[in-house]
Amino acid sequence: MDDESTEQGIRLLSQSGYQSGDAADFAYRRIERCLDAARHSIEIHMYVWRADDVGHQIGRAVLRAADRGVRVKIMKDRGAVLYESQESNRKPFFPTPRSWGKRLYQRGLGMTFPRTWVQDDWDQSLGLRLMQHPKVDFVWVSPTHTKYYCIDERCLITGSLNLEDRHRNYHDVMMEIRGERRVEQFRHAQQCSGQDQASVGFTVLMNDPDRGRFEIKAKLLELVRLAKRSLHIEMAYLGDPDVTEVLVAAAQRGVHVTILFSEKANIGNDGNYHVLNQLMKSALVEVRMSSKMIHSKVMVIDGKRALFGSANFSVFSLQRAGELSFLLDGSDAVDSLNEVLMERWSLGRPVVRRSEVSGYWKGMACLQHWYQQLGRHR
């Protein structure tokens, strides 16, 4: 595949000045281009993959690769079928056998989601073709929230972006990491933790429930405790009480904590507002609201280090699910990320009174928090 970005090594798949839809489409087009350039292998690990325009855009690129002989492995989270079947057009990209009991359970949970129904003509035929293709190894996995594409063992694209149309109206963060040595380091990190990764410019952090490996939360708490001047957070979902506690402590010792958050999240909105209310009640934390859904999972520490990936600040992400995060240290990618995040921050609406985040439904917040506790890592 082409190697035009090898010198930079780590590249933010967005630019300042982009509207969120343009930024998402830029990332999707880049993913499609890399898939079309694949010669030997493609590995995709995905949470939500919906049967809509974006899902088919990437699905067609994968099929083209398989048809020309590229070996493809797709690891698809089974639990995300809940959201694929209950939100938007209610069509998972891949056909998924579900019992009537499972359907009823998912429908019940779906009744607590905001109404997002979209009528369209997409179907699951392309997903079925991929599942049955002789060059495609398809595996259902769960619980995992990880999102990445590894192409020819030379290019890794990862971050918070799912495969569905509505991300065109979300804010996300995606990075492209190029070079055999960098991808090899990612592969080594998948096998075992605690390796020295400083030479490649990033540290890989993983949660793997099957192996009892949960390392993202410990590093996150450490980074917050070590912050000296500032913490800038752009986060989809909150809820882990230990994270809330260290953020309060950081603000109380004088660290400038800023949080850009969704005015209305697609799910878990009451739980999110409950945590924001706690933060603003306990410490001087600066919060702004975005009219667009914040789906990013990113924290910048002292303007120089950035933690990004698939992991939210929720119990589900930090204590239950498979997740993939990266810690970047002082690279050009961090500078580019800061520029994009500050532009998004400037467009947010300042929250000047705590009462603005206290009008949530407390019963629903408790229910959402309880659901996240089920099966958590201890």
Q: What is the pLDDT of residues 52-94, one digit of tens each?
A: 999 999 999 999 999 999 999 999 999 999 999 999 999 999 9
Check residue 4 and give its pLDDT.
42
The CA angle 307-313-314, to the nearest 5 degrees, is 150
Cβ pair 377, 214 in contact under 8 A: yes
Check residue 264 and give its pLDDT.
87
Check residue 5 and give its pLDDT.
40
Q: Which is it for strands 256-262 and 285-290: parallel, antiparallel or unpaired?
A: parallel
Average pLDDT over residues 130-146: 97
The residue type found at 263 is E
Give the residue carrying structure tokens 């998004």.
Answer: 344
Mean pLDDT lowest among 4-8, 316-320, 337-341: 4-8
Domains of the chain, residue spans: 10-181, 204-373
Rounded to whole angstroms, the Cα distance separating 293 from 306 reads 21
Strand locations in 189-255 (E):
202-208, 213-214, 230-235
Rounded to whole angstroms, the Cα distance separating 117 from 87 reads 6
* CATH number belonging to domain 10-181: 3.30.870.10
Summarize pLDDT for 322-348 with one digit per residue, the tens.
Answer: 999 999 998 899 999 999 999 999 999
Q: Residues, the chain, total?
A: 378
**Joined tokens for residue 112:** 């607590």
Summarize pLDDT for 246-288 with one digit per residue, the tens.
Answer: 999 999 999 999 999 999 888 777 888 889 999 999 999 999 9
Domains 10-181 and 204-373 share a fold: yes
Check residue 108 and give its pLDDT.
86
pLDDT > 70: percent of the chain: 90
**Joined tokens for residue 143:** 């619980």
204-373: CATH homologous superfamily?
Endonuclease Chain A (3.30.870.10)
Check residue 7 and give its pLDDT.
46
Judge whether residue 194 has pLDDT over 90.
Answer: no
Rounded to whole angstroms, the Cα distance separating 71 from 254 reads 52
Check residue 60 and give its pLDDT.
98
**Joined tokens for residue 252:** 């109380």
Rounded to whole angstroms, the Cα distance separating 341 from 196 reads 29
Rounded to whole angstroms, the Cα distance separating 354 from 11 reads 37
**Joined tokens for residue 326:** 């990266």
